[in-house]
Amino acid sequence: SGISLTVYKETDSTNTRLRELATEGAPEGTAVIAGMQTGGKGRLGRKFFSPSDTGLYMSILLRPEMTAADAVRITTAAAVAVADAVEKISGRKADIKWVNDVYIDGRKICGILTEAAFSLENGGLDYAVCGIGINVYEPEGGFPEDIKDIAGAVLDTPADDVRNRLAALVLENFMGYYHKLSENSFLQGYQSRLMWRGEDINLIRGSEITPAKLIDADEKCRLLVKYEDGTEDTISSGEISIRKR
């Protein structure tokens, strides 16, 4: 099955737009790309800064037959697809911060938000919309104050047709991983790029902060950690930060 693409100059959120199309019965592989988003979304109600001309904002509709727990892997496969694509385009190494943020040189160049809808009939997954926002270039005037220390871009200088090439590469890589999700084809690319692997981190869950060593990620994209008392654990939600020495 192929990809059917709709390109908008501007939309509120490519995820929101695509969820509307999903409700109208759009098939798996339907994708929306926008030149800018007026209401770009991040996880947990956060905002994704989505200016025109310098970014790539796209969402892909999936209708997988899998459990909600397995759907986490869609999001991490997308991170690997983006990492592959931006490395190819830029020649720079990309890292993945658990769970699914893509970084270059310590700066976040991509955010991914997967939203799932469940069927009321059987409680199974009805569809998932995987949204990917990439800072291709730094916007004129720089990133806004609140993210200027975090955000970065794939390229420093404009190059020919980059956004189209990047979009095509991400879609192609992603559908490749998606169709081989059960074989964990994305896992090696995920583990090898996992930021802070082998390092001392802080696990942040609510107001609780626990020091631990980050060992690896497993096939369910859980984090394997070792606490200071030597016990190991697998973590499936929360946030991490590096521990300053």
Q: Which residues bind ligand ATP (CB under 6 A)?
A: 42-44, 46, 48-49, 101, 108, 111, 113, 135, 147, 150-151, 239
State which residue, 26 or 94, has the beta carbon closest to ligand ATP. Answer: 94
Min CB(24)–ligand ATP separation in Å: 26
Q: What CA–CA distance (Å, rounded) separates 129 from 114?
A: 6
State which residue, 113 or 155, has the beta carbon closest to ligand ATP. Answer: 113
Min CB(1)–ligand ATP separation in Å: 28
Token pair in block for residue 49: 């800064």
State which residue, 36 or 224, has the beta carbon closest to ligand ATP. Answer: 36
How many helices (H) and strands (E) the chain has is answered by 4, 12
Min CB(111)–ligand ATP separation in Å: 3
Helix, strand or coil, per DSSP, at residue 129: strand
State which residue, 146 or 232, has the beta carbon closest to ligand ATP. Answer: 146
State which residue, 26 or 40, has the beta carbon closest to ligand ATP. Answer: 40
Min CB(123)–ligand ATP separation in Å: 26
| Cis-peptide into 80, omega within 30 deg | no
State which residue, 48 or 174, has the beta carbon closest to ligand ATP. Answer: 48
The strand pair at 55-62 and 30-34 is best described as: antiparallel
Q: What CA–CA distance (Å, rounded) separates 185 from 78?
A: 12
Q: What CA–CA distance (Å, rounded) separates 215 from 199?
A: 8
Min CB(239)–ligand ATP separation in Å: 6
Min CB(113)–ligand ATP separation in Å: 5
Whether residue 176 contacts residue 162, with contact meaning beta carbons closer than 8 Å, is answered with no
Phi and psi, residue 157, nearest 5° = -125, 145
Q: What CA–CA distance (Å, rounded) separates 106 from 95?
A: 8
